[in-house]
A and B are shown apart, each in its own frame.
Chain A
Amino acid sequence: MEEKQLVRLAQDGSPEAFEELVRRFQPKVFSMALSFTRNRQASDDLAQEVFLKAYLALPRFHGKSEFGTWLYRISVNHIKDYLRKKGRAKEVSLDDVREISFSDREQAERAEEEREIEARRKLVRSFVEGLPEKYRVILTLRDVQGLAYEEISRILKLSPGTVDSRLHRARRMLRVKLAPHLAGVGGTHELP
């Protein structure tokens, strides 16, 4: 059944239609929450709350955008609220991540490849968490979730130009922070 039809049936009170929408979109909502929180239980709770919100707001959905876009907007706003409440927006200093730093090449070579990748991933995520919210959100939607520019533009209600420039700045900020760890011992490799 088509998405629009399912939405209409769900608006008319069909639990089966809403269940189908949940089954279709749950992995993406969960994955989005996970990419922000890095906690499976918290992400599951957030996904449940997002669908609860969507269910209550369904009568006010007029189909001006795609259902998915509308749902992701609810998700992003809900996740942002959650993160603000949790106080996760704090700047991550280098000291916070020194334990999992992989700047020591010898140590990294000795470690298993899997563990190394995991450590790098943790490091990158720690730095992503340290970015200002507007950059973190856009970077997560594009580079972690892999959403298209146009979709991000619709979800965040930003012009494509703003998405482009904000994403550029976010990536640049992240690379500057990560550069010493990505390239081994050395400077930040700022472009001249």
Chain B
Amino acid sequence: MNCRKAEKRLLRSLDGRLAGPEAEALGKHLETCPACRRAATEYRSMLALLRDRSEAEPMPRFWERLEPRLREEKEIMPLLVWERWSLRAIPAFLALVGIIGGFLFFTPPAAEMSPSAALLLQNQDPLSDTHALFEADRSETRTLMLMFASLDEKTPLRRPTP
């Protein structure tokens, strides 16, 4: 066993997680390796110093001090929730404004569009517009026909009598 492997096993053994043949092999290695024996001593000292918890006595009246704070938090909880959500809503609102603004700003002008796209953008119905055009044409045609008809009445066409 080399020393690196021995160190790993040593730490496991200090945690009480080494047994059987592995522990035996470590024991044999330690017998023959002064560096690892020294490391074992140092690890033991180090862990003993780390594990000392003599001053970990909690301070008194913990709950009595905590309880009013809990009550206070409970009272302001709804406000906190509203504050948190309203703060989250601000960026969402700004993003929405940005999207709408961007859409309106960056939409190509009507001149660059096809006539139907332009009519659609202007919220106009191309069919009804076409219908109106036809209607206008028809009334003009009717007027012309009336004009021609009246001319015909004033100057009746005389056919040469045979």
List chain A residues, Cβ under 8 A from B43. 171, 175
Shortest CB-to-CB span from A8 to chain B, Å, is 18
A143 interface neighbour in B35, B36, B50, B77, Cβ under 8 Å: B50
Shortest CB-to-CB span from B105 to chain A, Å, is 42
Interface residue A60 (Cβ < 8 Å from any Cβ of B): no
- State the main secondary structure of chain A at its contact with B: helix
List chain A residues, Cβ under 8 A from B51. 143-144, 146
Shortest CB-to-CB span from B42 to chain A, Å, is 5
- Band of interface residues on A: 35 or more
User: Can you offer 11 A-B residue contacts whose CB atoms are under 8 A?
Assistant: A18-B70, A26-B58, A40-B59, A55-B70, A55-B73, A143-B51, A146-B51, A167-B11, A171-B11, A175-B46, A191-B35
B-side residues, CB < 8 A to A, are: 3-4, 6-8, 11, 15, 35-36, 38-39, 41-43, 45-47, 49-53, 55-56, 58-59, 62-63, 65-67, 69-70, 73, 77
A-side residues, CB < 8 A to B, are: 15, 18-19, 22-23, 26-27, 30-31, 34-35, 40-41, 44, 47-48, 51-52, 55-56, 117, 120-121, 124, 128, 139, 143-144, 146, 149, 167-168, 171-172, 174-175, 178-179, 182-183, 189, 191-192
